[in-house]
Each structure stands twice: as C-alpha cells, then as structure tokens.
Structure 1
C-alpha cells in the first residue's frame, strides 16, 4: 500500500479490496498523481485527521460498512471532492442517493482505469475552477419564488420559514440561471456555461448539480418540484419568479 502523504495533493482510495486499492493507486502514481489508500471507515478517519486529500475515491461497499453513511459523515465536515464507486445489484439506487448526498461523480465497477483517471482529473479541474473563480461584483436585488428568496448581493438563499440555505458557488450560479429564465427550457450546455464548467467535463456533471439543487429546494415533499426535466432538451424552472 502506498504511504500516506501529509501534503495536500494526493488522491485517497477507500476500498476493502486490496487488489482494487493496489491497482488504482499504482495506475495513479504511474501517471504522476500521488495516491494513498485505506480499507475501512476507521482508517479513513485516522487518515483525514493528519492528511488532506485533493479527492476521495470511495467504494460504497466497505465490508459490512455502508459507504453512503461514510459519504454522509465526510460531507458533514468537508467539501473535499468525492467520486463514489459502485458495483452491486442496487448500484443505480445508491448512485442516485450518493449524488444527492454530495458525491461529485460516480464510477460503476468494473471500470476502465483510463476513464477513472479522466473523471478524477475532470472533478479536480471543476473543483479548482470553482475555488479560483473571481467573485462577481455586488449586485442589487434578487428573486422570490414559492415563498423562497435569493438576494444577489449576499448570495443568500432563504426558505419559506425564513431559514438560510447554504449554496455552493456552482449551486448559486445554477439557481441564478434558472431564476433569470423561469418557465423556459434550458439546455445542459446553457447550464454548463452558466456554472462555468469546462466543456470537456462529462455532461452528466450538470445533472449532479441539478440533483443537489433539487434536494435543497425540496424540503416540503407535498410541494411540486420546481425544476422539471425537459426530455431531450434539459431542464425548466417551473415556479413563478418575482424580481425585487
């Protein structure tokens, strides 16, 4: 197993299969990507206390442990990019849940190592672009919809109960794109441009962001979904939007 580097910049592989860990870490290091690996939730916790990986490749089946719970635990205190790895009969369900819990992408086993490396680089690139993107100039006003409000100057989203809802930079940009063009179908390409995602990233990365935004806007299960899928086109924001 590769050593656990203390510097920022390595990829951490979390999988209980020693062969999988060895294969992935060897391939990453052959392509000049520092890598480390752990086999359990406990080892992962110990690793994160002393090191700061740039990205985590997380298997959703860690022996008897639930990888989704591990994902939830990581997301409770960290925004480190995470790619989940699935490979069992309920993989589609777990993929969706994993994306909604904050995973940045997924790989279905068995997967090609070249695809794995491409996805790792794409997620890292997107994450770095999000951190490096300059803040917009303060903008006045905002939008109201279904009892929610978004203030542009502070980028503050408030739910109908008056509680603030935290948005990432990409989620804010995505919501703003919808609010500026309500009840109008928007293609994935338009939304990718709005969230400043590089064009060579897989198209479904925008689907990940929409899943997250839907989750944050879907507190009341009885309320109609405000972001609908427009088959063959992209997405449409169905709520009545009032600028202020």
Structure 2
C-alpha cells in the first residue's frame, strides 16, 4: 500500500488468542462444527447443513490428520502473518500494474474498483462493502500484476494476507500437496477457497474495548450481540444494573483476566 494515510499492524498474539476463544469457549484447543455453527448464528447466518460446516472446517484445518477441526496451531499459522490496515477515503490499496502479493478482506467501509482508459478518464466498475474479499482472484490465478486499481471510497479497515502465507499454510495442505491455479483449479478447489476466505473473515472480526471503573459492558435485557474475553482487570457480575451502586452490595460473581463471558447467551 503506497498511501501515507495507511495505518497497519500485525495481528497480535493477544488478539489472535481472543478471536480463537470466541470459537473455542470451552478451551479445548480446537474448533469444531458446533463452535462454527454457534458463531455463524451470532453473525446472523443460518447453516442448515453439516456439509457446509464440514467444508469450512476442512478448508481451514490445514494439516490436521482428520481434517474435521481447526487446531490453535493451524489457526495461528493462518492468521499470525495477517496485517490489519486502516486507510482514509481516497487512499489507493493497490494500482493497476502493481505486483500481486496479497489478498484483502474488507472489514469495514467501501472500496471501488477503478479502470483508466487511454485518455486517462477513470471508470468505477465495481463497489465492494464490508464482508467482501478482493485481490484473491489475481493471486490465486497466478497473475503477476494487477489488472485494476482498488481505492477506498470511504474510510476502510482491511485484513491483508500474503500470497506465500496463504498458500504455504493452507492451500498447499491438500491431499495431493498441490496448489491449483487458474483454469487448472477444479470446482471443488474453488469452493474450498471460498470457504477458507469466509473462515478468515470470521476470525478477523475482533475489537478491543477499554472501560472505566464502574462502567457496564452490558445490562440485563440488552440484546445478545458479542462474546467477550477479559484481557486485563476484573469484572463484577450483578443481578440488576443498580445493585453494585449500593455500599453493602455483593456481586453475584467475578470475572478475572483471561476468562470469557457472554457465550452462554450466544
């Protein structure tokens, strides 16, 4: 990315651990179909068939012998080299003619696909929104350079993953050890890629929130919309919002750093 309006950072170990914990709430050390179903339901996606869940697990399972679960090691190998970047409106993600080195998951905002004619006039041929992927077609087809320019139409946040990491960690871990490109890729390989991309998008949806002492994370009756992992500090659990305001109040329980909560409602 060339623009000076880019802020990027590697996805840290703590964030990776919290994201994995959102799936593996029991601390098993791996992600199963039941874990995927729960998180997909949380994101508003209904999955009626175990076949779809199995396909997503198989895509992300890497070198797990049974290919029915995603271990923490496979997960870190996939996500450990990912970079989250923020770009301001108008910033160029990549230009036509740039070398193909990464693909991108759009976490927030919109991007435009732009082409330029011989006279220098620009045409926006496609607009993508949060949840979409871009750049993966050229990467997986083995093209050396980009065929179009991608530009931030709003302020955006993207997850950027290198071609080498993507292929070495997962696409190269299939049964025959091959990485398929372009027209040589069978339809099932294309479907596997799409499921893997969906898995990557899911595990990237984490954010850090800092609260002041006495501030409530959620209250009784609030809509269930997140799973939480406490990275530092201590939380008190109260039956009613005002209970802890009384001097003689005793919390129903406490949550310590490293513990997760909110998963029972999900």
Rg larger in 1 or in 2? 2
Between Structure 1 and Structure 2, the one with more helix by share is 1
What is the TM-score of this pair, normalised by structure 2? Answer: 0.28
Greater RCO structure (CA 8 Å; 6+ sep): 2
What is the TM-score of this pair, normalised by structure 1? Answer: 0.29
